[in-house]
Amino acid sequence: MRRRAGSVLAVASLFLGVLAATPDAHARPAAEAAPRADSGALSVWTAEVTAAQVPLLLRAGIDGHELGGRVTGDKAVPVELDLTADQAQGLRDQGVRLTEKRLPKGVLEHTQAAGDGVFRPYSGKNGLQQEIRDTGRAHPGLTKVVSIGKTTRGQDILAMKVSKNAAKSPDGSRPAVLYMANQHAREWITPEMTRRLMHHYLDRYGKDQRITKLVDSAELWFVLSANPDGYDYTFQSPANRLWRKNLRDNDGDGKITARDGVDLNRNFPYKWGYDNEGSSPQPASEVYRGPAPASEPETKALDAFEKRHAFRYAVNYHSAAELILYGVGWQVATATPDDVLYRALAGTPGKPAIPGYRPQVSSELYTTNGDADGHAGNVNGTMMITPEMSTCQTASAVDPDDRWKPGDCRSIFTFPDDEKLIQQEFAKNVPFALSVAETAVLGDRPVSAVGLSAPDFTPHAFTTSYARGGRQTVAVTARKSVADKHLNFRIDGGRTHTEELRAWDGGDRYGGEDNIRFDQYRATVEGARPGSTVSVWFTGRTREGRATASEPFTYTVAATPRADTLVIADEGGKKPAHDAALYTKALADNGRKTVVWDVATKGAPPALGVLGHFDTVLWYSGASRPDGATLLAVRDFVNEGGKLITAGTEAGGGVQIGDADTDDFSQYYLGADDRRAQAGPTRFTGGGELAGTTAALGAASGAGPLRSAGSFSPISDVLPPETFPLFRSAAAGEYTPKVTPRDGAGAKARWSAAVTTRDTVLLGFGLENVADGRERAALAGAALRAVGG
């Protein structure tokens, strides 16, 4: 689970460029009848939470993206949650402070009466479905209306194609882009975004050169609502306004309650149910993934639609976190080849493609699995980006003199029913929307709304190699359309050597995906000796036949002794490591030859340059939190088959990476679902894979008793290995005195001093906390045997 360490949400600046008005929405009609609701309705709650309590919210079924970046470390901050009374009580029982949000008397009625009647349902007279059909009839030469499938309740999910001679030209005869919205029912601003964008193209055709060129050269497809049943349901009554899911009647009782519905953005087959944090198996959860991959007709319809039309790009509008999300959602901080192009389109935090939105990798804050974006990219070959549109509070604060006040917002999702504010929100999104369509025409050359580009080559540079005269793998992210891709290198300024680059297939868990337009390529350098300096660059030819090359980087082959095990000393601070010799001695007592990498003096070890030359790594962090950059390098090492032993009194918990905090590596690689500090342990007794070991514990350097050590609940206690074999873990020892669980969440868990997986051993203390050298050696030997290293 990942959370930003600093607040990022602020009042959005609005793009106020002059754009002609789109057709006004009509008065909203009554939606079709839906299954009746019961008393388990969602209400808006304000929770005062710390970063440590965020996992409780995720387990309760809250979509992490909707928390934004407001949770900051140990200080409790307010966040908005949509919960039933039972869900709220469950969080209260776990120590979360909650207050139901109640607007002053008359505010809700006032805001409804003050509305312009812009928002309306999908079905019924003057609904969005009718508007799609009417618009198609009004523009017969430019449009084609199709049903892509049926909803749970049998409604047609309509899509409109906008293109020159749309009805006569075969689908797929031009590059296709998809604009879709409203997977989540309550996000009313998103169908309005796609509706206005559809009219923006049609009304300017033949008048605006840029628009005309796009309509003539591309197929522009619009799905105004991917969840018509759920969207209609939110118009039934104020009690339904915050409904998120579709209308699957999960328990078959003929009525819709909080236990019903499926989150359509967690129901796609790619990475469906990867874990229970990015989606939930519980029907009452807001992120319930459904009983099976693609169980929902809406999911099946969209998947088949994407397959039929082979969209090059897609924009999937959501609200209301004010983000531009792209790339990997199922695992935190995971760079992919296509990120090079996504970044050019989405922009940077300082230069976003949509003013007021923050561009970021989808999992920068929280993970998702079974989502539309990941499935579109890795199954259907469509590069999909998700803008999270503005909150009610942001929109209401734009004009202090209008009738909308942030304090009157029932929820972040209740965007003001105000033509001016809706048009302004739409207008600031238009440049990005057009840039995606223009990029679809070109394929892999981004037309960035903020002037960014995607280079042909992005080398994975490092400065130190432990190859010692052996083979050194080097890598580059490169545009797939570039031909004749080669590695070029010089050793000590000598002649240029060339090697053909080959696409990397990926590791055990990641890599080899999210590579539609770019990919990672590798080759090897041979012949460099210890002390040599190697200059590396990459070359190829563009589709037009033009020579292209990367910037060079240089590394030095370190003159290190031959070793089979690397010790990463990560003691924190800037001073050289103090306790590394204890680790090298314990490993030497087990017949290992070691070399030490000191993070304090050298920074994080490069995965290819250093870690890739070892089968086993022992990473210790003393009494400090492990280094975030080192964690990412170590994760790459484990992903490519490396064996890891990690130790330290703060190991196995959260780690700061950039401006965010994450414990995902601890959970899904080290096997520790949760970490607690155990006060004053005096002895470790091994169990499981570490059975037969024991060690008296104390402070480092014999400076008295050990104040605190880490204790863990194995993730297999939470994610059964029969269902989640990838995360199989086991307890491997206990402390004296034993760990006593303190709260409701931990009462059913086993707390252990060590956890093992197939490839890793996690110790909640360091070897510096073991005074007896023989006990240190025995523990190191057991850990080596446990990982087979």
**pLDDT band with cut points at 50, 70 and 90 for residue 70:** low
Q: Is residue 36 part of a domain?
A: no
Residue 517 token pair: 């337009």
Q: What is the mean pLDDT of residues 356-381?
A: 94
Q: Would the pLDDT of 6 be above 50?
A: no
C-alpha span between 277 and 718 (Å, rounded): 11
Instruction: Give the residue from 557, 585, 611 where a domain finishes.
Output: 557
**pLDDT (tens digit, 9 = 90+) per residue, 594-613?**
999 999 999 999 999 999 99
Q: Is residue 361 part of a domain?
A: yes
Does one domain contain both 147 and 262? yes
Does one domain contain both 628 and 752? yes
The pLDDT assigned to 490 comes to 98
The percentage of the chain sitting over the pLDDT mark of 70, rounded to a whole number, equals 90
Does one domain contain both 420 and 547? no
Does one domain contain both 213 and 238? yes
Q: Is residue 449 part of a domain?
A: no
Q: Would the pLDDT of 7 be above 50?
A: no
The pLDDT assigned to 43 comes to 76
Does one domain contain both 625 and 549? no
State the DSSP string of 65-94. Answer: GGGTT--BTTB-EEEEEEE-HHHHHHHHHT
Give the highest mean pLDDT range of 55-59, 195-199, 255-259, 660-664. Answer: 195-199
Q: What is the mean pLDDT of residues 521-534?
A: 97
Residue 208 token pair: 């605006």
Q: What is the mean pLDDT of residues 18-41?
A: 40
The pLDDT assigned to 218 comes to 98
**35-39, 345-349, 710-714 — which is least confidently predicted?**
35-39
The pLDDT assigned to 14 comes to 30
Give the highest mean pLDDT range of 405-419, 450-464, 657-671. Answer: 450-464
Does one domain contain both 553 and 579? no
**pLDDT band with cut points at 50, 70 and 90 for residue 68:** low
The pLDDT assigned to 16 comes to 29
Provide the domain count of the chain.
3
Q: What is the mean pLDDT of residues 572-597?
A: 97
Q: Is residue 654 part of a domain?
A: yes
Average predicted confidence (pLDDT) for the chain: 90
Domain encompassing residue 129: 2-29+107-442
CATH number at residue 740: 3.40.50.880
The pLDDT assigned to 56 comes to 76
Q: Is residue 469 part of a domain?
A: yes
The pLDDT assigned to 319 comes to 95
The pLDDT assigned to 15 comes to 30
**pLDDT band with cut points at 50, 70 and 90 for residue 28:** very low
Does one domain contain both 272 and 159? yes
Q: Is residue 588 part of a domain?
A: yes
Does one domain contain both 401 and 501? no
**pLDDT (tens digit, 9 = 90+) per residue, 585-598?**
999 999 999 999 99
Instruction: Give the residue from 557, 589, 606 where a domain finishes.
Output: 557
CATH number at residue 533: 2.60.40.10
| Rg value, the chain, Cα | 28
Length of the chain: 789
**pLDDT (tens digit, 9 = 90+) per residue, 460-485?**
999 999 998 889 999 999 999 999 99
The pLDDT assigned to 749 comes to 57
Does one domain contain both 522 and 421? no
Query: What are φ and ψ of residue 529, in 5° steps?
Result: -105, 165
Residue 769 token pair: 């906390």
Report the b/e string of 729-739 with b at 16+ CB within 10 A: bbbbbbbeeeb
> H-helix or E-strand containing 546?
none
Does one domain contain both 400 and 463? no
The pLDDT assigned to 50 comes to 77
Does one domain contain both 393 and 529? no
Q: Is residue 59 part of a domain?
A: no
722 is known as an active-site residue: no
**pLDDT (tens digit, 9 = 90+) per residue, 212-227?**
999 999 999 999 999 9
Of 32, 298, 322, 388, the catalytic one is: 388
CATH number at residue 375: 3.40.630.10
The pLDDT assigned to 58 comes to 72
Contact (Cβ atoms closer than 8 angstroms) between residue 454 and residue 519? no
Q: Is residue 778 part of a domain?
A: yes
The pLDDT assigned to 85 comes to 79
> What predicted TM-score, i.e. pTM, was given to this entire model?
0.91
The pLDDT assigned to 72 comes to 56
Picking from 270, 256, 263, 255, the residue whose alpha carbon sits closest to that of residue 291 is 263
Instruction: Give the residue from 537, 557, 577 where a domain finishes.
Output: 557
**pLDDT (tens digit, 9 = 90+) per residue, 383-423?**
999 999 999 999 999 999 899 999 999 999 999 999 999 99
Residue 577 burial (C-beta neighbours within 10 Å; 0-12, 13-18, 19+): buried
Does one domain contain both 231 and 303? yes
Instruction: Return the residue matching tokens 């194609």.
Output: 161
